[in-house]
C-alpha cells in the first residue's frame, strides 16, 4: 500500500510524463528505499521489473490520472476589457504557443476555457512545448513560414526574432484600445520588445531574482533565515555550512552558480563585485576577461570546488526547479518558480532579497512576452485574445492570483501580493523590483549567439577542464567578433 506522500509523489512524476527508468533514477537520487520506489511505480501504473521467466501480469496498467489544477477556475473571472476589434462573424481558430511547466499549463487551459465562453467564434488551440526545446522548434517553423498565430517569446530571443521579421507591430491595435494604458507597465518590462520606434510584443511579466530557501534545512541546522542584513559573504558561509552528507542523501547549500551561457548572469553574479559581462545597453564591448570579472567568477567557483552546488549529473532528469525536491538549501529564482515549488515541495520554504555584494546590491530584472506572428491567418482574433490575456484582469488571473508573480502591469501586483499561493515573502519580490532589479541583461539581437558561443566554454569550467581565467579569455575571443556588429 502506498503512503499519502508516495501517492502525491507518484501523481507529480506521472504528470511530468517520466518513464519508469527516470522514476528509478529520481528515487535513487533523493533517497527513496527500494520498497518506496516500487510503491511509487505501482501508483504510477508501472510495475517493477520481475526477475525470472514468470508470466506477464494480466492486470492492465492504470490509466493516467486526469491532470487537475491547483487553482479555482472562477477565481478572478471578472473585469475583462472591452475590445475595439469586433469578434469574427464566423468561427475561426487561433494557435497559441506556450512554454509552461505542467503545473501552470493547467491554469492556461482554464483561461482558454473562459475566453472561448466569452468568444464562441474564436477557437483557441494551445501548443505547450518544454522550455528547453521551444526556441529550436519555432525557429524551424519560422523557416517554413508556419508559425502559430501567437507565440511566447523570452526577452533573450525577442530582439533577434523582431529583427528577423517574425512578428507584427502592435502599435495600431493598441492605439484603438482606449483602456489599454501602456503607462501601466513597469518601465523595465517593455525594453526588450521595442525596436525601430515600435512595440512588437506585450510583456506578461518582468521580475527580479530572489533567494528561495528551505526553512526545514535551516531549522535543522539551527541557522537563522536569510534577512536584509545578508551579504554575499554570508550567503557563501551559510551555503558551505548547510552542505552535508553524501550520495542521494546529500544536502547542497546552493542550487546553482553563474554560467556565461546565461543571459541573466551579470546583475546577480558580476555587478555586485563591480564587474560586467558586456557593456550595456548596446552590448558592444566584452568585459568578461577584465580582472574584476575574473575575480568575481573565481569567488563563485569556490562553492563548486567545495561541493556546495549540485553537478550536472546530480540534476540529470530532475525537473525544474530542483529546489522543490528538498535537497537544496537555497536557490536563486524568479517568482515564476513558485507554482512548481508549491506543487512539488514537501517542506516549508520562503523567499528573501538577493544579498548585497561588496560593490553593489543588484539582481536581475527579466521577463517574457507574447507576440502576434507574421504568419497569423487571423491577426484580429489573435489581438482580441492578446488584449484580454495581458489586460489587468488577464495578468491577475494568470500571474497574480496563482502566486506566480511579477506581472508586467502595475495594476495586477495587488492580486499577487494578496494571493494565497504567493509565499509569505512575496513583498520582497516587489521590494527588489522597486529597488535593486537591473535590466542590464543580454537582450540585443546578438544575444543568442553570445550565449551559445560562451556556454560550451563555461561547461569546461564546470567539468574541471578549464580554469575560470582560461575560460574568460576564451569567451572573450569567441564573443568579441560576434558583438562587433553592435559597434557599428
Q: What are phi and psi of 41, to 5 degrees?
A: -60, -45
- The percent helix, strand, coil of the chain (3-state, each to 5) is 45, 15, 40
Q: What average pLDDT does the segment 110-138 reach?
A: 97
Angstrom distance (rounded) from CA 53 to CA 416: 57
Q: What average pLDDT does the segment 108-137 reach?
A: 97
Q: What are phi and psi of 96, to 5 degrees?
A: -130, 125
Which H or E element spans position 102?
helix 102-118
**Which segments within 99-191 are labelled E, that is strand?**
122-128, 150-154
Q: What are phi and psi of 89, to 5 degrees?
A: -80, -20
Stronger pLDDT, 456 or 38, i.e. the higher one: 456
- The share of the chain scoring above pLDDT 70, in percent, equals 86
Joined together, the cell numbers standing for residue 2 give 502506498
Query: Among 479, 22, 37, which residue's Cα sits nearest to residue 278?
Result: 479
- The share of the chain scoring above pLDDT 90, in percent, equals 84
Angstrom distance (rounded) from CA 378 to CA 368: 23
Please write the tens of the pLDDT for every residue from 297-354.
999 999 999 999 999 999 988 999 999 999 999 999 999 999 999 999 999 999 999 9
Query: Among 154, 110, 472, 441, which residue's Cα sits nearest to residue 295?
Result: 472
Q: Is the pLDDT of residue 32 over 90?
A: no
Q: Is the pLDDT of residue 371 over 70?
A: yes
Q: What average pLDDT does the segment 195-220 reach?
A: 98
The answer to whether the beta carbons of residues 97 and 139 sit under 8 Å apart is no
Q: What average pLDDT does the segment 245-258 reach?
A: 96
Angstrom distance (rounded) from CA 40 to CA 26: 11
Angstrom distance (rounded) from CA 50 to CA 57: 10
Query: Among 409, 403, 407, which residue's Cα sits nearest to residue 69?
Result: 403
Between the CA atoms of 209, 214, 220 and 223, what dihedral angle is there, to the nearest 10 degrees?
20
Residue that is written with C-alpha cell 569550467 in the block? 461
Q: Is the pLDDT of residue 264 over 50?
A: yes
Distances (CA, A) of 181 to 84, 256, 279: 14, 38, 32
CB-based contacts of 30, cutoff 8 Å, min separation 6:
248, 325, 326, 327
CA angle at 399 for the pair 397 and 400, rounded to the nearest 5° = 70
Average pLDDT score over the chain: 89
Amino acid at each position: 500500500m502506498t503512503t499519502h506522500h508516495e501517492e502525491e509523489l507518484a501523481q507529480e512524476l506521472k504528470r511530468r510524463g517520466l518513464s519508469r527508468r527516470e522514476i528509478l533514477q529520481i528515487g535513487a537520487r533523493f533517497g527513496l528505499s527500494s520498497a518506496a520506489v516500487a510503491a511509487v511505480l505501482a501508483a504510477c501504473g508501472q510495475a517493477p521489473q520481475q526477475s525470472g521467466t514468470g508470466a506477464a501480469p494480466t492486470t492492465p496498467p492504470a490509466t493516467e490520472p486526469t491532470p487537475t489544477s491547483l487553482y479555482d477556475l472562477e477565481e478572478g473571472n471578472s473585469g475583462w476589457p472591452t475590445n475595439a476589434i469586433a469578434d469574427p462573424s464566423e468561427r475561426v481558430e487561433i494557435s497559441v504557443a506556450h512554454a509552461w511547466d505542467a503545473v501552470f499549463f493547467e491554469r492556461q487551459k482554464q483561461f482558454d476555457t473562459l475566453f472561448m465562453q466569452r468568444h464562441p467564434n474564436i477557437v483557441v488551440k494551445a501548443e505547450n512545448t518544454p522550455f528547453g526545446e521551444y526556441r529550436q522548434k519555432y525557429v524551424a517553423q519560422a523557416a517554413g513560414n508556419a508559425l502559430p498565430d501567437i507565440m511566447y517569446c523570452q526577452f533573450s530571443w525577442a530582439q533577434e526574432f523582431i529583427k528577423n521579421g517574425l512578428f507584427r507591430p502592435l502599435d495600431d491595435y493598441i492605439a484603438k484600445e482606449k483602456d489599454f494604458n501602456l503607462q501601466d507597465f513597469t518601465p523595465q518590462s517593455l525594453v526588450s520588445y521595442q525596436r525601430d520606434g515600435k512595440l512588437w510584443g506585450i510583456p506578461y511579466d518582468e521580475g527580479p531574482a530572489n533567494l528561495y530557501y528551505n526553512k526545514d534545512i535551516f531549522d535543522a541546522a539551527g541557522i537563522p533565515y536569510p534577512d536584509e542584513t545578508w551579504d554575499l559573504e554570508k550567503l557563501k558561509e551559510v551555503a558551505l555550512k548547510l552542505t552535508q552528507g553524501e550520495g542521494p542523501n546529500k544536502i547542497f547549500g546552493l542550487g546553482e552558480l553563474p554560467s556565461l551561457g546565461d543571459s541573466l548572469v551579470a546583475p546577480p553574479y558580476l555587478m555586485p563585485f563591480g564587474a560586467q559581462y558586456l557593456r550595456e545597453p548596446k552590448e558592444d564591448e566584452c568585459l568578461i576577461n577584465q580582472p574584476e570579472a575574473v575575480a568575481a567568477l573565481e569567488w563563485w567557483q569556490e562553492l563548486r570546488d567545495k561541493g556546495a552546488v549540485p553537478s550536472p549529473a546530480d540534476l540529470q532528469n530532475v525537473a525544474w526547479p530542483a529546489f522543490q525536491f528538498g535537497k537544496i538549501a537555497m536557490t536563486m529564482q524568479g517568482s515564476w518558480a513558485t507554482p512548481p515549488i508549491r506543487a512539488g515541495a514537501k517542506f516549508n520554504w520562503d523567499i528573501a532579497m538577493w544579498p548585497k555584494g561588496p560593490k553593489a546590491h543588484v539582481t536581475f530584472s527579466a521577463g517574457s512576452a507574447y507576440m502576434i506572428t507574421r504568419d497569423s491567418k487571423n491577426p484580429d482574433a489573435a489581438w482580441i485574445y492578446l488584449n484580454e490575456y495581458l489586460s489587468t484582469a488577464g495578468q491577475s488571473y494568470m500571474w497574480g492570483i496563482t502566486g506566480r508573480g511579477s506581472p508586467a502591469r502595475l495594476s495586477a501586483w495587488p492580486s499577487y501580493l494578496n494571493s494565497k499561493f504567493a509565499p509569505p515573502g512575496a513583498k520582497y519580490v516587489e521590494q527588489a523590483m522597486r529597488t535593486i532589479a537591473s535590466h542590464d541583461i543580454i537582450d540585443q539581437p546578438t544575444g543568442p549567439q553570445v550565449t551559445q558561443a560562451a556556454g560550451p566554454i563555461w561547461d569546461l569550467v564546470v567539468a574541471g577542464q578549464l580554469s575560470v581565467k582560461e575560460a574568460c579569455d576564451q569567451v572573450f575571443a569567441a564573443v568579441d567578433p560576434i558583438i562587433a556588429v553592435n559597434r557599428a
